[in-house]
Amino acid sequence: MILEYKILRDVNSPDDIKKLNSDEINILCDELRNEIIEVVSKNGGHLASNLGTVELTVALHRVFSSPKDAIIFDVGHQSYAHKLLTGRKESFATLRQENGISGFMRPAESEHDPFVTGHSSNSISAAYGIYKAKSILDGGSAIAVIGDGAMTGGMAYEALNNAGAKKGNFIVVLNDNKMSISRNVGAMPRAFTKMRNRKGYHKMKFAISTFLLKIPLIGKPVHNFIFSIKELFKRIVYKNNIFTCLGFNYLGPVSGHDIEAMEQLFTIAKSYNRPTLVHVVTTKGKGYAYAENSPKDYHGVSSFDIDKGKDSVSVKTYSDIAGETLCDLAASNKKICAITAAMTEGTGLKTFATKYKSRFFDVGIAEQHAVTFAAGLASGGMVPYFAVYSTFLQRGYDQILHDAAIANVPIKLLVDRAGIVGDDGESHQGLFDVAYLSTIPNVNIYSPCYYNELKKLITDTSTKKELSVIRYPRGCENKNFDGEINGDCTVLSHNGDKAIITYGRIFSNAVEAQKSLENTDVIKLNRIYPIGEEVINLLSRYKEIYFFEEGILSGGIAEHIACRLLKKDFKGKYSVNAIKDEFVGASTIQSALKKYKLDTESMIEIVGK
């Protein structure tokens, strides 16, 4: 496909696009969009955000010199065009595939990716650190490209506060594709914005400043007086925005699809010896009608037909069941409320948000705040459920420990995407929540395998005065067990002296494996932590125990139980299959389960030896 492109086929590094004229640049942008749409339609991925940043990425690479100048895209789901322009066009078809290139920035892939990305709101911190290192060592700029959504994360403001207090050529590009940060009203502000954004204005300002400072004795006082009057007048006309208050020079807003205008502002930003924020306004989904009209629906997509768009027919997932259950509870209990961190659709809360507006809270990309906010709601008498992906809950560890667990505040955490999630790769796998949550006293962790069990757990915990965590996987149930699931554990007994013990999604794999195994019981942990004494007593009678855990080995439930059995002087065989000291890359869920021997066939092979 690449060879069919007129311009993109010959672009092998950012230096190549610096040589192109305006017509060629426009063709290149069209070709970048076509390639992104083509590959994402087959592999899935983040579509709307990447289509919106094509011209922005081109302009950045024309003005700056990567990798000497470090460009960090926040979250990284804006970086597809960047990958295509930095020597990865031939491998772009492997995007988000097993052993292929990542959907986010990865330094292991290219010197043009200066930092690992995947979670939001960290770009300014990382870029500022890289900038300070460059200023001490070999020189160069650092540019953080952050979306307005990521600007809802508190870490971004911590970094702005730190960077704004210092001199230096540090640059933040705000990719604003949803809201206006500060609204200028009237003809005068528009005129001044137009003037200030012209290169000639800034050249004239620097020339006057240089001239005045060369005049002996009176030059500096006159210079300071004139520019203090200018700043005062500017504040009256524009009023301050949060960025100028934090010490940043503010440029913009400018269209994120006007390459020439962006190049002018980026060039101006490079000339300052102070932190600068360039405000760029883009359209999510630009160039693909389906994505432009429904940017939320085309943010993250599975494979689709380019001509027809996404298939609107979908099957119910664990996320949908969680949302439906909360709606049912809220209908009869006015204390039930739901919280999301900018993931309303992803966590199944869209209907709840519509039906119970006063009890639905989208706090933005602010998981730390969400946990403490939930603790505040619970302390005030509400029953809050915070629905959050496992990989993003990691950010709220301190708040769970300090703001909820110490006082045993009964918040409820619905931990979505627990376990292996597939093609988003290392930064999004939900493999760590059990290990870190089980270090905190007063936390009760549940891991349902089936929809009816998830419904029951959400319903039951709504009346319990405990800090409850209900974790469930991405996708749909694999229903193959119709028995009762009650108590701390469920036992499928064949009166064997071997036992498979597990929890969550892969219990269904153990159910299938048992059909091909002799002398083997299957034990499902329903409440996986804390571990009841009856579970340890039950396991103590087996000669061989095989623990299969879809999570990290270190600190996992298998290790907790091993420690408890050791204290019981257990003499039998104890085998553990879990994720051992590594990050799990992109692949299909089934492929990853097979690789880590958590699928049915592996269970049969291991236990049947």
Q: Which residues are catalytic?
A: 284, 367, 395
Nearest 5°: CA angle at 238, between 262 and 272? 45
Q: Which residues of 88-109 are buried (b: 16+ CB within 10 A; e: fewer)?
A: bbeebbbbbbeebbbbbbbeeb
Structure tokens at 33: 């969009």
Q: Which of the 8 DSSP states describes residue 94?
A: G
Rounded CA separation 373/384 (Å): 9
Structure tokens at 121: 């709101």
In angstroms, the Cα distances linking 322 to 67, 421, 449, 553 are: 45, 18, 13, 28
Q: How large is the greatest C-alpha to C-alpha distance in the chain, in angstroms?
A: 99
Contact 363, 371 (CB under 8 A): no
Rounded CA separation 8/16 (Å): 10
Contact 598, 509 (CB under 8 A): yes
- Residue 475's SS3 state is coil
Sheet of 443-446: strand order equals 360-362, 336-340, 383-389, 412-416, 467-471, 443-446, 527-529
Q: Which amino acid is at 214?
A: K
Nearest by Cα to 14 from 51, 59, 53: 59
Rounded CA separation 173/150 (Å): 12
Is residue 601 within a helix (H) or strand (E), and if so which, with residue range?
Answer: helix 600-607
Rounded CA separation 124/143 (Å): 8
Rounded CA separation 527/330 (Å): 24
Q: Which residues of 355-390 are buried (b: 16+ CB within 10 A; e: fewer)?
A: ebeebbbbbbbbbbbbbbbbbebbeeebbbbbbbbb
501 forms bridges with which residues in the sheet? 523, 547
Contact 300, 118 (CB under 8 A): no
Cβ neighbors of 39 (< 8 A, separation 6 or more) are: 45, 92, 93, 95
- Residue 199's SS3 state is helix
What secondary structure, in 3-state letters, does 137-165 show? CCCCCEEEEEECCHHHCHHHHHHHHHHCC
